[in-house]
Amino acid sequence: MGSNEDIMHDFVRRELKRFYPSVDGWQIRDAPKNAAGAGFIISRRLLGRFQGAHVLVRFDRNVTAEEAKALKDMAVSNPLPGVKASSLILMVPRGAEASGIPDEVKILPMQSFGYDGKVLVWLKRRAQMSEKATVKTP
């Protein structure tokens, strides 16, 4: 049986598959666990060129430059063969504060999770609850 964090990362993997579909040649794999935390490595070969990205997933309300440094460390410790400089992506819940993140790190907001005030919520579940509340019972 998996933990809540494992389930949350499964949702993040699904979102990444929408942005980087396998029909376009993208391969998504888990990054080796280290001090940086949970993440993914995305890569493909297109027209003889290799492309890739390192993705670090954070569920924190405030994301700082420390996370960007951890992402860079993850990219250095797990280089992609054939890729000179991989893209750096920090995936965070909607509504997370991401100040101080360098420009070379792309912030990708999650579709499944977001902050409602100070509380992390599952956005799909929240939408389902709203739908149920608007349905009138006979």
State whether residue 82 is helix, strand or coil.
Answer: coil
- What distance in Å separates the CA atoms of residue 108 and residue 16, rounded to the nearest whole number? 10
Q: What is the mean pLDDT of residues 60-82?
A: 89
pLDDT given for residue 34 in this prediction: 63
Question: How many helices (DSSP H) and strands (DSSP E) are in the chain?
Answer: 3, 6
Domains and CATH numbers, the chain: 4-134 (3.40.1350)
Q: Give pTM, 2 decimals.
A: 0.80
Please give the share of the chain, as a percent, with pLDDT higher than 70: 82
* Tens-digit pLDDT profile for residues 11-60: 889 999 999 999 999 999 998 876 556 789 999 988 888 999 999 999 88
For the chain, what's the residue count? 138
